[in-house]
Structure 1
Amino acid sequence: MSESGKPEASGVIAATAMFIEVLVVGIGAFAALVGCVSAVAGYSNMQKVAPILASTPVSGAALAFSYALGIAIDRAADFLLTPHRRRLRSRYFSSNVAYSLARRTVADSPHIAAMADYARSRMRICRGWVLNSLLLSVAFILLISRFPVQDRALLIAATAVMGGLFVVGFYAAWMNITVTGYKKLSQQTSDIQANVPSQGSGVTAST
């Protein structure tokens, strides 16, 4: 089987996965934004513009805007969680140089690299939805406060509790995936480095 097409195919798959990740995060952020705007506009005004918002051109523009929002939310969530991520990484790597070296070491193993990419994909989605959960909670509370609903106080309390649970849940998932990724990377790097001298020809050990 020819190897010439693999790097290009791998790049296409990675780009597609990244697009989907950003869109998944962006759709949640867009929903929160629409909720906040709707709360400000009010119930009667939103009834008037609802048919326009449901049109195909607006839906297409919303999808494109969701992608842009996804990038912004991903960067914002990464900025907020970076100090904690660095503390988690310091458990397994003494410096940024050691971490970069470890990633380069396992990059030659396609299976390990693919698994690492998958883990990072899940981590980025959970990271983005930590922030999305908070934004959606705020949006729903504003909507409940502004729109004509029954049991408003109960709904606001329930939304706040559910939003808090989602924030904690996505944060816990992000932390678990992040710690597991650093731990596996450290172990795999040690295994590869330990096996290199015994290979003679420099071929990495199979995984």
Structure 2
Amino acid sequence: MTNQAQPQPPALAAATTMFVEVLVVGIGTLTAAVLLLIALIGPATTAKLAPVANSSATAGIGLAAAYALGILIDRAADTALTPHRRRLRTHFFPTAAVYAQARLRLADFPDLTARADYTRSRMRICRGWLFNTIALTLTADLAMLRYSFEHRPLTLGATTVLGAATAFGFYRAWRSLTTTGYRKLAEQTAPATTPPAPVPSQPDTASP
């Protein structure tokens, strides 16, 4: 008797995707937090604490912290960008009620819903990493200021410029994905308009 792989339930797939999204964002946030800690405690204390980072307990705590921080930064990024997102939405949906009705109509098409969910997943990652990049750039600069090494001004300048360019890239990607998602939703849920059927001509029965 052969065992066939069962398809993953939609709810489980959505939960798994959300977990991965939060973790991907949270890893960047945790890295920024570690860089900030290094900047605060300095090189000597960092060297003393370095062996602790190799333990399995630290890895488990780090994974849990990354997930928790991912939730935090995702909510913070969503709150900060909500006004801008709503302005983009009004280009395609005049009111929130019209947008909600379009989302409900889209639920009748599973294939289109899956594509929209994938677009929103990429949008959330870009949104989170926009703020992660800013935090990483600032904390990396602070950490490098605590260490003495060759060409430090050049390294600081390059890190800042690269961080600013990357953050702008994430913003542009988030804006493009958000706008495209609204546009496709408006196109896919627009009511179909069909031309009226031609009225057949009636024979002229009038008497001469």
The normalised TM-score by structure 2 is: 0.88
Question: 1:148, CA displacement in angstroms?
Answer: 2.3
2:202 alignment counterpart:
none
Aligned mates of 2:30, 2:77 — CA distance in 1: 15
Aligned mates of 1:147, 1:60 — CA distance in 2: 29
Q: Give secondary structure in 2 for the equivalent of 1:92.
A: coil
2:198 alignment counterpart:
none
Equivalences, count: 189
Q: Deviations over 1:141-165 (max 9, x none)?
A: 0111002221111111111101100
State how 1:1-207 maps to structure 2 within 5 Å. Answer: 9-190=9-190, 193-194=191-192
2:201 alignment counterpart:
none
2:203 alignment counterpart:
none
Aligned mates of 2:161, 2:127 — CA distance in 1: 20
Question: 1:66, CA displacement in angstroms?
Answer: 0.4
Q: Deviations over 1:113-168 (max 9, x none)?
A: 00000000000000000000000001110111002221111111111101100110
CA RMSD, 1 decimal: 1.5
Question: 1:195, CA displacement in angstroms?
Answer: 7.4
What runs of 5+ residues in structure 1 fail to find an aligned partner? 197-207
Larger Rg over CA atoms = 2
Q: Give secondary structure in 2 for the equivalent of 1:149.
A: coil
Which residue type is aligned with residue 58 of structure 1? Answer: T
Aligned mates of 1:126, 1:177 — CA distance in 2: 9
What runs of 5+ residues in structure 2 fail to find an aligned partner? 1-5, 195-208
Which residue type is aligned with residue 94 of structure 2? Answer: S
Aligned mates of 2:75, 2:103 — CA distance in 1: 22
Which residue type is aligned with residue 158 of structure 1? Answer: A
**Per residue, is there more helix in 1 or in 2?**
1
Aligned mates of 1:60, 1:115 — CA distance in 2: 33
Question: 1:79, CA displacement in angstroms?
Answer: 1.0
Which residue type is aligned with residue 194 of structure 1? Answer: A
Aligned mates of 1:76, 1:41 — CA distance in 2: 27
Which residue type is aligned with residue 174 of structure 1? Answer: W
Which residue type is aligned with residue 43 of structure 2? Answer: Y
Aligned mates of 1:108, 1:57 — CA distance in 2: 46
